[in-house]
Amino acid sequence: MFRISGIRGLQWLSATILCVLVACGSGDSDTKPTPPDTLLGLEACVFNDVDADTCTVTTIVNFGAVPLQSTHVRRVRLTNTTDGPIAVTGTLVSSSSVSLSFVEDIPVSQQQVLLATPMTLQSQTSVVLTINLEAGDLEGPIPAEFVDVLGERGGEEAIPLRLSLSGTVERCITGYVDCDSNDANGCETDLASDIAHCGECNRACETDFGISVCV
């Protein structure tokens, strides 16, 4: 299921519905929408941790290992690398398990200020897109999800910036296991600190002439 937001997203949906109603592609060139031929001009820089100070320039948003039925967050700085303004008009997401919000590009330690689309980014200014991913109850790679950032340059629709989402849904994150087989409390055991489960379930930490502890 696709979910759209913003004026440009609604226009995109309207054009798609109209295209279906008038049988686009049947040879009637008057009904075919003209695709944009200009890149939006936004550079994506992904923060690999929600509270990280540095980011990596990439369009791949990797959530890493995500526990079942949990929500994980990634932040992406979007910078206008062109010489003129860019209008960010909306977003398009490929799944209802993904939710988005725009905030000012300020440190996460400060009060976050939500921004609405449409918005205008002047040259060399930036905004942060927050992506929330809700993991389901099936283990395995995250389905091929994406986020499109829609916009205009010079008053004309531009080619959207596509962010591809990746990661793996796992029953337990690294270092934690379900030793009591109780789904209600999930992966309750920390193998690095639980002296009754040292490195694996039901193996107590042992030291000669000492007290069992994990270090």
Over the stretch 79-133, which tens digit does the pLDDT of each residue have? 999 999 999 999 999 988 999 999 999 988 888 899 999 999 999 999 999 999 9
What does the pLDDT look like over 166-182, one tens digit per residue?
999 888 777 788 788 77
Residues 52 and 141 in one domain: yes
Which position has the higher pLDDT, 203 or 120?
A: 120
- One domain, residues 123 and 178: no
Same domain, 50 and 72: yes
Whether 10 and 109 share a structural domain: yes
Going by C-alpha positions, the residue among 41, 68, 80 that lies closest to residue 183 is: 68
Please state whether the predicted TM-score (pTM) of the whole model is above 0.75: no
Residues 90 and 156 in one domain: yes
Same domain, 18 and 97: yes
Q: Which domain holds residue 214?
A: 172-215
One domain for residues 137 and 212: no
Residues 199 and 208: beta-carbon distance below 8 Å: no
For residues 50-79, average pLDDT: 91
User: How many domains is the chain partitioned into structurally?
Assistant: 2
Say how far apart CA 181 and CA 77 lie, in whole Å: 41
Compute the C-alpha angle 116/134/151, nearest 5°: 30
Do 132 and 184 belong together in one domain?
no
Tell me: do 118 and 159 sit in the same domain.
Answer: yes
Is 176 in the same domain as 166? no
Q: Are residues 69 and 85 in the same domain?
A: yes
